[in-house]
Structure 1
Amino acid sequence: MGSDTNTSGKTEELQLDIKDSPAHIAEQDDVDVAAKLAATADGPLDPETARRLRRKIDLHLMPLMCILYLMTFADKISLGQSAVLGLLQGVRLTQNQFNWLGTIFYLSYLAFQYPQNLALQKFPVGKWMSINIFIWSIALLSHAACKSFGGLFAVRFILGLCEGAITPGFLIVTSMFYTREEQTRRVGYWFLMNGIAVIFLGFVAFGTLHTKTSKFMPWQWLMIITGLLTLVTSILFWFFFPDSPANARFLTPTERAQAVQRIKQNQTGVENKKWKRDQFIEAFTDPKTWMLAFFAALAYVPASERLITNQRQIIVSMFGFTPIQTTLIGCVDGVAEILWIWLAVTAATRLKFGRAYAGVFMFGIALIGAILLNTISLHKKVGLLFCYWLTIAAISPFTLALGWLASITAGHTKRTTVNAIVFVAYGIGNAAGPFMWKKVYQPRNRVPWIINAVVFGVCALVLLLIRAYLVWENKKRDEDFGEKSDYYDDVYLTHLDEKGNPVQKKVDRAFLDLTDIQNREFRYVL
């Protein structure tokens, strides 16, 4: 290291504004938690080592993430299934009270979204999610003991509170372990578990419907079964799910350093536990935050989870199917969702469409379905059903947007803040969507399908707008690169070696916990 580097025992806090001195000493809590590991890595990984490491990470993370996402969605749609299994009669609920049980979940989700994201920054991510999953499972089991609307209202409120930690936590973990090119596909893997959950819970509900017990109704058995499965999942997460590559027990010390080195190209680091006010403010002043939030809110008006879980059976039954046919068709809805998400992710990654163009393509399919639903005769129930399955394609662009969000946002405080903003918007869309399905529009539902068609078109335009903004920003950075390429290139971290002597290691800018705006080397993926 050059003689101009500060080698005294003192350390000065790393400032985000570059000073005149050529080198700076950073405090440990200012830089990424993986900065020390990155300093010990021996240069770039060879492709075979990187592939082997990615396979090992996949084998340990993906099964747990997929199982949990399956259970969280199964738990959410359990309310809709319970209505068919005798919940309304068993607890003597009115239709309005039942609707409120769906609404309070998302109101609670909205209220606790930022506190949950803040906790994900302050506490170990894996452990915090495990605690929330455990509380979630207890609340789900408690459904079976509820004898009134008030009791169900309370447990649904708790479910919404806990669910706010899951998807944002998954996005953080995905960005910790995977490169930006890999993130979209991994998000797709665990997000398509929503479709599997629809199939899984359909069969569980069918089984409980044939369960005859004197003291327990079928809907109570459904809650017990899903609650116990979620409880087991929380225990697995506590013991086996890592908080970050820096402390992943399934990786050797050498592999931890390699895992950090592998994602260096992301320029997003791993995580930082210090809350930074400037990053918090930047999240609110960054135009793409609000474009993504607007997209999340608008996209989930037609693709509302409440629509999928509570209204779907009503809509499909109006095509002319019997109740038992409608229930079984629900399993096919899950298959359709899986196929559309797989197609979207494949188009965005393997076929190199990019996130925006792949999303526009999927909205185009959904738009065709919505138009046909308004033009095909109501007597052609099979044709209407296939058109309805086309509209399910509208769910897949949000999956792409989640992966996109994780890969174009850097700085840990900024990332958790942007996550909170986008998921609050997502909750608003979920809360608003079902209100357009009014009885006055039944059985044809022309007005809701017209609204959906318009929303599909607008969402496609928003994706193109986001892409155009990122292209413009990348071009601007390319033009300014020569002038600003030396920013943050001389920052050092002091730590003790094996003998207890202070040693200074240069910190790569990728691990300085810089935001995507502060780091001019950052380029946005399209």
Structure 2
Amino acid sequence: METHPSRDDPVGLDILKVRSTPVPKDVDFGEVLETYATPEMERKVLWKLDLFLIPLMGFCYMLQYMDKLALSQSTLFGLTEDLGLKGTEYNWTSAVFYFGYFAWSWPSSYLVVRLPLGKYLSIAVFLWGGILMCHAACTSFSGLMAARFFLGVGEASIAPGFALITGMFYKREEQPARQAAWFVGNSIASVIGGVVAYGIGLITTTSVNSWQLLFLILGAITAAYGFVLFFFLPDSPATVKCLNKNEKAIALQRTLKNKTGVMDTGKFRWDQVWMAVKDPQTWCLVLYTLCVNLCNGGITSFSSIIINGFGFSSLKSLIMQMPLGAAQLVFLLLTSGFATYVKSSRLFMMMLNCAVSVIGMALIWKLDAGNQAGRLTGLCLGAVFAANIPLSLSIISSNVAGFTKKSTVSAMMFVAYCVGNIVGPQFFLPSQKPSYPTGIKASMSGLTLGIFFLICLYGYYTWENRRRDRLYGSPRQLTEAEELQDEFSNKTDHEIESFRYVL
């Protein structure tokens, strides 16, 4: 058997050049497919990947959400008074973060194809940590606006990048659980973020204010973690450090049936961009994301103020954010676990989470101001929709094929995420502080529309799968060589006849 097959050999060693990354030279991929990819070996590789990748991404995502919460928490430490923020200026300091996120979404979709993915994400984490520390130096509204904009630029690549990594290493049926696993960091941040901020608030010093100390400590931790990711976060299955050379080949072989194009040549294909723009599933996902983030923008930015309005003290309001994270975590585990083990249930679980959040928002809106426990319960349930983020990312990684198309759809979805988070806080009128009834009603409307677009997406997937069955027949079982050919071709989901959408 040849040690270095030619590029014309579809099952040869050169096929392992994932994203132009050097291949282990003493591994013959064809031999690995035939000999080493036993079920026991696959389980061992999967276990190693879970223990290595999930904690790396989960801790990073925890830091990201803690950094987002920092602005809301800093208002309880006197940030608005120290910087002289008036009227709707705080609303805009929250919204401008997503302008930065928006501005960088498209360049990021290009760079993740052209650059080593793990290195690119680690540098982004380091820069975002440094920018967060710069918040402590702000002395005016304009300075804070600039810091928030560039923080959005720094964070824009993280979630889409992690979704691409998940798609590279895991089978389609494995992805909901793994997307949820690293997204658990978001829920943990909600649980412990308030405790961390509470502890920082107890530090007494005359040199810096408590809100400045909050930004400095969280930013330093995040920047330091960027170095950890630089050395350990892989660019592709060929560079993951926890596997030996044969296991790297098996890690790639496991995902061939995905047909979603992890085998990329490093070229940005404009024809796939156009396919993404024309695809109905893209617009269902984009419109869903836009609508539900009307709620996200308000809850993330104003949760501390809303809880404070329930009658809690400033420091206790930080502690009372913990139940929000706990509710997210419970529904995240329930719905993602159900979607992993029950076929065709992902979209139904997303609808369920949105419906629970609508009920929560209705409780905040309708319960009497003196019903502290009931309104706090409503806020906890209102945050449950965030458990949909890993499920929506798994929809992209499972149902969008072609590396450029996948990165384009991710970018469009995160543009919608930004627009929703920019518009959402504007409904939280300063004159209605701290109950914000207009903002609560806008959040309910967005969540309800989100359910509608999920129903549209379910209908489209069902119709398209049936259309393909009529046109091409039921998907047949392909050989590994044929699976490899599909993967190496970097075709989109519309170009692969055997591709069927998961629901």
1:225 and 2:202 matched: no
Which residue identity is paired with 1:187? Answer: Q
Q: How far apart are the structure 2 equivalents of 1:210 and 1:458?
A: 42
Choose between structure 1 and 2: higher helix proportion: 2
Q: Match of 2:91?
A: 99
Q: Distance in 1 between matches of 2:372 and 2:133?
A: 38
Name the residue aligned to 1:135. Answer: 127
Q: Any conservation in 2 of the 1:267–1:511 contact (CA below 8 Å)?
A: no
Contact persistence 1:481–1:520 (CA under 8 A) = yes
Matched, 1:410 2:401: yes
Residue deviations 1:159-206 (CA, integer Å, cap 9, x gap): 111111111110110000011111111111222312211233212211
Pair 1:123-2:115 in alignment: yes
Aligned to 1:80: 72
Deviation at 1:436, TM superposition (A): 1.6
Deviations 1:344-398 (A, max 9, x none): 2123223546111111222222222233334333322211221222222222223
Taking the aligned partners of 1:30 and 1:476, their CA distance within structure 2 comes to 35
Once the two structures are TM-superposed, the CA of residue 285 in structure 1 deviates from its matched residue by: 0.8
Q: Which moved more, 1:394-403 or 1:475-484?
A: 475-484
Instruction: Report 1:363-402 matches (<5 A).
Output: 363-402=354-393
Partner of residue 470 from structure 1, selected from 461, 467, 470: 461
- Residue in 2 aligned with 1:285? 278
Segments of 5+ residues of structure 1 without an aligned counterpart are 1-6, 13-22, 492-505
Partners of 1:331 and 1:409 lie apart in 2 by: 35
Match status 1:425 vs 2:402: no
Kindly indicate whether residue 229 of structure 2 is the aligned counterpart of residue 237 of structure 1. yes
Question: Is the Cα–Cα contact under 8 Å of residues 172 and 398 in structure 2 kept in the other structure?
Answer: yes
Task: Return the offset for 1:118.
Answer: 0.6
Are 1:520 and 2:497 matched, yes or no? yes
Assess, with a 3 A threshold, how the Cα gap between structure 1 residues 210 and 66 changes in structure 2: closer, same or farther.
same
C-alpha root-mean-square deviation of aligned residues, in Å?
Answer: 3.1
Whose radius of gyration is greater, 1 or 2?
A: 1
CA distance in 2, matches of 1:111, 1:373: 34
Deviations 1:221-240 (A, max 9, x none): 21121112112210100111
Between 1:226-235 and 1:29-38, the stretch displaced more is 29-38
8 Å Cα contact 1:31/1:512 also seen in 2: no
The equivalent residue for 2:485 is: 508
Query: What do residues 444-480 of structure 1 show as CA deviations (whole Å, max 9, x unaligned)?
Result: 5444433333333322221122112111111222222
Q: Percent identity?
A: 32
Q: TM-score, normalised by structure 2?
A: 0.89
Structure 2: tracts of 5 or more residues without a match: none
Deviation at 1:248, TM superposition (A): 1.7
1:241 and 1:444 map into 2 onto residues whose CA distance is: 43
Match of 1:65 among 57, 62, 67: 57
Q: Distance in 1 between matches of 2:379 and 2:166?
A: 32
Does the C-alpha gap of structure 1 residues 43 and 524 become closer, same or farther in structure 2, counting only changes over 3 Å?
farther
1:310 is matched with 301
Matched, 1:355 2:346: yes
Residue number in structure 1 paired with 2:268: 275
8 A contact 1:70–1:197 mirrored in 2: yes
Aligned match of 1:146 in 138, 145, 152? 138
Contact 2:98/2:421 (<8 A) preserved: yes
Secondary structure in 1 matching 2:443: helix
* Matches of 1:517 and 1:202, distance apart in 2: 46
Contact 1:32 1:511 in 2 (8 A): no
When residues 161 and 488 of structure 1 are mapped into structure 2, their CA distance, relative to the original with a 3 A threshold, is farther
2:159 to 149, 156, 167: 167
Please report how far the alpha carbon of residue 28 of structure 1 lies from its aligned counterpart in structure 2 after TM superposition.
7.8
- Equivalent residue, structure 2, for 1:215: 207
SS in structure 2 of the partner of residue 378 of structure 1: coil
Distance 1:370 1:153, change over 3 A: closer
1:33 and 1:246 in contact (8 A); partners too: no
* SS of residue matched to 2:238: helix
Q: Which moved more, 1:512-521 or 1:352-361?
A: 352-361
> Partners of 1:61 and 1:29 in 2: how far apart?
20
How far apart, in 2, do the equivalents of 1:329 and 1:254 lie?
Answer: 49
Q: Name the structure 2 match of 1:438.
A: 429
Rounded Cα–Cα distance in structure 1 between residues aligned with 2:478 and 2:271: 18
Counterpart code for 1:517: H
CA distance 1:319–1:224, shift in 2 (3 Å): closer
After superposition, give the CA deviation of every residue in 1:316-343 in whole Å (9 maximum; x if it has no partner). 2333334343222112222222222222
Aligned length: 492
- Counterparts of 2:234 and 2:285 in 1: how far apart (Å)? 28
